[in-house]
Amino acid sequence: MSNRLIVTIDGPAGVGKTTMAKRTAGALGIAYLDTGAMFRTLAVRLGTGIEERGEEEIRTRAEELTFSLEGVGEKTALVCNGQVVGREIRTEEVGQMASRIAALPVIRDILKEAQRAMGKTTDLVVEGRDMGTVVFPRAACKFFLDAAPRVRAERRKADLEALGTAVDIDELEAQIVERDRRDRTRKVAPLKPADDALVIDTSFMTREEVLAAILKDIARSGKAKKAFAEGAYLGHFLERVRRVRPLVHFITNFVTVNDCANITLATGASPIMADAVEEVAEVTSMCDALVINMGTINTRTAASMVAAGKAAREAGHVVVFDPVGAGISALRNETAHAILQDVRPTLIRGNLSEIRYLALGLGGSHGVDAAQGDCADKSNIQTHADMILHFARRQQCVVVASGPIDIVSDGRKVFCVRNGCAFMGQITGTGCMASAVLAAYAAAGRDRLLEAALAATACMGVVGERAAKCLKKGEGTGSFRTYLLDATSCLKPRELDRQARVECLALAEGGTDNVD
């Protein structure tokens, strides 16, 4: 077995395994594997009556099918022979076919090996009938969900009717009872809880209550924190950016506009710069994300920022606010408060002094840099983390405070990112570039904003480290800037996963989706 985090969720049909596995994987930021979908896919691809054929023929045909996964959480897709598996496998007829072939040892052996192979290369939440007992007996966290047959029949009826299929509830309950009997009494891998599984009867529990119970047990195990801290899923967001190629609109400063454009391209997204109030709403409506940067603000661009921000939020697009120099002048302060109130950004990224001013109205930057003393270290990081967590909760957005140690929070959880190097503070624009990368990642990972922000923040620190290692004798900050762009464009998802140093610091009181 590998050192990957494996969470197994077993149980009979209609008990809610699929929903809980998807939501658990989403909360952990890792992939979800629907093993039942693998059996259903085999049933469809092999055809009716395959269980009556000889073992050699079944094995030959089944081994022609290969499986893989794309995405994380609810967005994870099962891929068979290069094709994403769709709703065609979700009929009751296919479910009955799958149950019959699941009793064949040859089928179970083939899929067991395919499932274990996936578990060796990625963290997984897997659901099925024998995940914790047979396929992943050494999984870190095991759960067995159960519910009364009538309750499960009602749930299954609702699912089928949502797909346009009318069913009789009594007939459906009878089918579930028969399927339970078959699954629980089969000679090969009978349906039963693993000895070390947490059994949860979901009959009278809401989905939120079931999810809370699962995540609480995972948190108690301590395994999720390790996987999350290792950043084992962050590279997925880089893959998303390069696949989706989001268009990012910048209203930014003239000092670093070219740096922002170049790093956006190097990340895999596309930039567009427009700050005339006559066109900003029209331009931003075409884009996937908007970056508002106050670096060289004036009254004209201040009006453009608010107009573009309102248009972006109305269109449901990501808005990243970089409050450069907040706290040092009346114009910047008035504009910052107008953006917070009227635009309500999706994400806010600034140095610790800028975030501190927005959150508390205290202090101010040293020019556009953080004031001396506003630096997170081992002695004060928890104090800063608490401030950022409460600010993020108040603003209902993700907040990133950049520095030697970056702090990221969505108001429920707060993390620190320990990547980066000293050279990043010796050239202009690394903060502005960080906001550009953040916008690209957030646009491509809108469904998981906190994790996308962590990935973007770690990415910026990782490429800084890699750029610094490229410096040769006699080279300095000018060469570093070039190497920074090179490192960004050449970064591979697995390298981001391997080098990211992310640590969970806290969970807001009353939160239910703890991953530490």
DSSP for 67-132, written as a single string: EEEESSGGG-EEEETTEE--GGG-SHHHHHHHHHHTT-HHHHHHHHHHHHHHHHHS-EEEEESSII
pLDDT value of position 223: 60
Q: Is the pLDDT of residue 83 over 60?
A: yes
347: pLDDT strictly greater than 70: yes
Q: Is the pLDDT of residue 102 over 90?
A: no
More confident residue, 197 or 504: 197
pLDDT > 90? residue 351: yes
- Lowest-confidence pick of 245-259, 394-408, 467-481, 491-505: 491-505
Q: At what angle do helices 430-444 and 477-490 cross, to 10 degrees?
A: 10
User: Which residues of the chain does CATH 3.40.50.300 include?
Assistant: 6-229
What DSSP designation does 370 have?
Answer: P
Q: 136 vs 186, which has greater pLDDT?
A: 136
β-strand partners of 502: 417
Measured CA to CA, the distance from residue 321 to residue 439 in angstroms comes to 10
Residue 222 pLDDT grade (very low, low, confident, very high; cuts 50, 70, 90): low
CB-CB contact of 326 with 365 (8 Å):
yes
**Span of 39-43, 145-149, 229-233 with lowest mean pLDDT:** 229-233
Span 396-409, pLDDT tens digits: 999 999 999 999 99
Residue 2 reports pLDDT greater than 70: no
**Residue 483 pLDDT:** 97
CA distance 326 to 341: 15
The tokens describing 37, both together, are 């979908």
Fold of 6-229: Rossmann fold (3.40.50)
The vertex-221 CA angle with 216 and 223, nearest 5°, equals 110
Minimum mean pLDDT range among 161-170, 241-250, 315-324: 161-170
- Kindly tell me if the per-residue pLDDT of 168 is higher than 80: yes
Rounded to an integer, the average pLDDT of 412-435 is 93
The answer to whether residue 29 scores a pLDDT higher than 90 is: no
- CATH architecture of the domain formed by 235-507: 3-Layer(aba) Sandwich (3.40)
Q: What's the chain's Rg over C-alpha atoms?
A: 26
pLDDT of 368: 52
The residue with tokens 């603000």 is 297
- pLDDT top residue among 82 and 279: 279
pLDDT at residue 202, rounded to an integer: 87
At 367 the pLDDT is: 52
Highest mean pLDDT among 74-78, 94-98, 484-488: 484-488
CA distances from 265 to 235, 247, 436, 489 (A): 17, 10, 10, 8
What would the mean pLDDT of 139-147 be, rounded to a whole number?
Answer: 92
* Model pLDDT, residue 318: 97
Looking at the chain, the domain(s) classified CATH 3.40.1190.20 span 235-507
- For residue 211, name the pLDDT band (cuts at 50, 70, 90): confident
pLDDT top residue among 16 and 260: 260
- The answer to pTM > 0.85 is no
Please report the pLDDT score of residue 70 as a whole number.
84
**Cβ contacts of 19 within 8 Å, gap of 6 or more:** 207
Q: Each residue of 236-251: pLDDT tens digit?
A: 889 889 989 999 999 9
Hey, what amino acid is at 50? I
Residue type, 215: L
Residue 438 has, within 13 A of its CA and on its CB side, a CA count of: 34
